[in-house]
A and B are shown apart, each in its own frame.
Chain A
Amino acid sequence: MKFDLVIAGVGGQGNIVASQAIAQCAMDAGYNVVNTETKGAAQRGGSVLSHVRFADGPIFSPIVPQGQADILLGFEPLEALRYISILSKSGKYIINTAPVPTILANMKVDVYPSHEEMLAAVAAQGLEGYRIDATQAAKDLGNVLLTNVIMLGAFTAITGVLPADAVLQKLLSMVNAKFHAADKEAFNRGREMIKAKL
């Protein structure tokens, strides 16, 4: 058994917390776990890619090789596009459709690609997955910071590699109890958003 996950997002979106919840859950399940984060040329508000690999045998590289990831969680569509080639042809993606504009795009030095362009670029790779507006759903629940929790819930709806409840309990163990009710709601909302598309 070998499972590779990558989470692509923007610094501050809770990418690392989500990857840690999954990594620790995999450890509890008795797997060998390796993880790392790769950051672009940006530390603050920049591009962040988390790698989580677990297996019942040895794992050599902390980085998921190109074309090997079982699942790619894209917390932001441009970041998902940036790293989509890591996803295996038989893998699945879940992409949050809410864009976070880049500074250079704001300045009109770059053009932030349209939703259609990004859709086409992913489709051109022959990859399959789900698109959900996790940011809007988090806002609807009252806090945009719940986006990562919604994505984490969505993750558990497309794979049974780790039990959904174990992932949720692990997440709750990592955050202050006063956020537990909102986190549970967001986690389940993420699962429902995927189930509605299955």
Chain B
Amino acid sequence: MQKKFMLGNEAIAQAAVESGVKVVAGYPGTPATEIVEHCASYPGVYTEWATNEKHAFEVTGGASLTNQRAMAVMKHNGTNAAADYLMHINFTGVKAGLVLISADDPGGLSSQCEEDTRILIHNYAHLPVFDPSSVQEAYEMTKAAFELSEKTELVFALRPVMRVNHAGGMVEYTDIIPEARQAEFIINRKRFVMSAVVEKESGGELRPKMRHRWLNNKQTELKAVMEESPFNWTEQAAGEVGFIGCGIGYAFLKEAEQIYGKKLPILKLSTLPLPEGKVLDFAKGRKKIVIFEEIEPVVERLIKQLYFDNKIAVEVLGRDTYLPKEGELTSNVALTALESTLAGKPYPTPQQGKYIPARTRTQCPGCSHRGLLIAMKEVVRKNGGIVTGDIGCHDAGTFEPMNLQATIYCMGSSIPMAYGIKAAGFDKPVYALIGDSTFFHNGLTGLASAIYNRANITVVIAYNSTTAMTGFQPHPGSPNNLKETISPIEPGTVAAAMGAKVFRCNPYNVEETVKVISKATAEPGVKVVIAEALCYLKFGRDGKISYTPRQVKIDTDICNGCGICVRTFGCPAITIVDNKAVIEASACNGCGVCVSVCKRGAMK
């Protein structure tokens, strides 16, 4: 055994490599991104960024059937996108070990929503889930997941949360990488062809029903596995109130126990299905049980059902009945709950804190999106149009001071939503603003749908050649993939091939961008504007930028301190001091976009 300080994501990657993983595929998303990047540093592992999570999962499915261990990596929103494949591979099962990493983000700290993918994977797809409580456990669970996946022929999922993915801790690991296996694909249509086929041998039953039965029968085997699992245990202590910690909820509970200063009866549960024997035993002599889990009351409801079925009368408290229903657990929530339940009191109503001025996210100084956003704002200010938004750095255009996009939902939703607004009869122009990585993720099919249905919208693709938001991962429109240099798939060429009228502009040139978007708007049908400029932060390091740098000066004789440059534009480098605009030289990257914002011409 060796010992090293690792981030949770590094520990998961290390465990996968030690398990002989051959194929790793994912789509970038906080907090899971670095798992794929760590795997990519091992030459024997095929690693890729797929265009979306469904495809990543499908790639790993193909690898598993070819007798190679594989791992699909995604954040919770991605697991939603992959749900269709999930609901088929659960019925077919797998050949070589296949592990799904579905990272949740309690509190939505870096996400569009907060959700608990244990529901999707376990309650819905009936697949097993490990919920790690620490970095070390994430490592151990990943290794166990590969072994058990192969043994049970089922996809095993690891559901880490932000506080495991992005936490660092000391990890004991072996660093032994097994010998490579032989690739082998054995055709077995009865198993791997999911279709409404009549199964003669099963008395003429349809295959979906038969495979459903196979999956249901597997649950007994899984329950036996979890009963013996080293990831569930009981910590004995006297007391009528027992506490259950699930995953990171266990870490917060233990922290609270330390502060409270007295040993408590604790059941640590980190697997789904539950180890039912342990859960039933824990009820003995208890009047009340309090459960800490992220995010939804999944374990709480399963335990209530188990106790009901076994006629056990214990009060079960958790996120459904006692704790805050939304947001992230903390050690302090656990401590408050612990003190309140032991005192027989309700959980105190959380008090709203005093507002401390926020540091909102915005585009970096020098970002091409700021030019695009201000140009689009200019266009819709004049024509009363609506902009539907999408996921990416440009989504900060919805905040003060840009206030541009009217909607943000999930990946690729901007395009169908835009033409839905038109279909409903909205008579002014509608724009969909989408990034390049998101366009390849789930925008392509929406664009085809718009063109096919003869929509009248303008789609603006912010083409900066990287997935900037998650830390500059490449995508099909980039000059490289994870392994090598490629010839990029140019979004405008794709859109033109579909039949869209394609326009191009450099968003650093605001006047030109306004003109191009206005011209596109005037045309009928689906228009696509490619606003092309390299991500300053990513490519600027290598000296590649899409503007001619210039030092913008304020003409203090012309500047009357109106503040439009701050109030509507919001570049972090600009402030108003003593009623005059000031550009902080150390923050300014010389993009010059602000020049077109000042209507008095004070910025030169």
A103: chain B residues at CB < 8 Å are 359-360, 362, 400-401, 570, 572
How far is it, in angstroms, between the C-alpha of A42 and the C-alpha of B400 when the chains are bound?
13
Chain B residues near A46 (CB-CB < 8 A): 359-361
Q: Does A106 contact B (CB under 8 A)?
A: yes
How far does the Cβ of A45 sit from chain B's closest Cβ, in whole Å? 6
Query: Knowing A27-B170, A36-B167, A106-B576 touch, does A63 contact B331 (C-beta < 8 A)?
Result: yes
Quick check: is A129 within 8 A (CB to CB) of the other chain? no
A39-B109, A42-B360, A45-B572 known; A23-B5 Cβ under 8 A: yes
CB of B580 closer than 8 Å to a CB of A: no
Q: Is the CB of A65 within 8 A of B109?
A: no
- B110-A39 in contact (CB<8A): yes
Tell yes or no: B364 within 8 A of A by CB: yes
User: Which of A33, A65, A112 is in CB contact (< 8 Å) with B357?
Assistant: A112
> Chain A residue with minimal CB distance to B248?
A61
Lowest 5 CB-CB distances: which A-B pairs, in order? A62-B167, A65-B331, A60-B254, A110-B357, A36-B167
Complex interface: chain B residues within 8 A of A112 (CB):
357
Cross-chain contact of B163 among A39, A41, A62, A108 (Cβ < 8 A): A62
Taking the complex as formed, is B330 at the interface, i.e. its CB lies under 8 A from any CB of chain A? yes
Which residues of chain B are within 8 angstroms of A122 by Cβ–Cβ distance?
none
Given contacts A60-B258, A103-B572, contact A36 B360 (CB under 8 A): no
* B330-A63 in contact (CB<8A): yes
**A43 interface residue (CB < 8 Å to B):** yes
Residue count of chain A within 8 Å CB distance of chain B: 46
Interface size grouping (class) on chain B: 35 or more
Verify B255–A60 contact, CB threshold 8 A: yes
Contact of B400 among A10, A45, A63, A107 (CB under 8 A): A107
A33 to B169, CA, bound (A): 6
Which residues in window 52-75 of A have CB below 8 A to B? Answer: 59-63, 65-68
B211 interfacial contact with A, CB 8 Å: no
For the complex, what is the distance from the CA of A112 to the CA of B356, rounded to whole Å? 9
Question: Across the interface, do A61 and B252 meet the contact criterion of CB distance under 8 Å?
Answer: yes
A-B contact pairs, 30 of them (CB 8 A): A10-B359, A23-B168, A27-B5, A33-B169, A33-B170, A35-B169, A36-B163, A36-B166, A37-B166, A38-B109, A45-B359, A46-B361, A60-B133, A60-B252, A60-B255, A61-B254, A62-B167, A62-B169, A62-B251, A65-B256, A66-B330, A78-B357, A101-B575, A103-B570, A104-B360, A106-B566, A106-B575, A107-B566, A109-B400, A112-B357
**Which of B133, B168, B361, B364 contacts A35, CB < 8 Å?**
B168
CB contacts under 8 Å to A, within B7-38, are none
Nearest-neighbour CB distance to chain B for A145, whole angstroms, equals 10
CA distance A65 to B566 in the complex (A): 38
Q: How far does the Cβ of B338 sit from chain A's closest Cβ, in whole Å?
A: 12
Q: Residue B433 at the A interface, CB < 8 A? A: no
Q: Tell me how far the C-beta of B373 lies from the nearest C-beta in chain A, rounded to whole angstroms.
A: 14
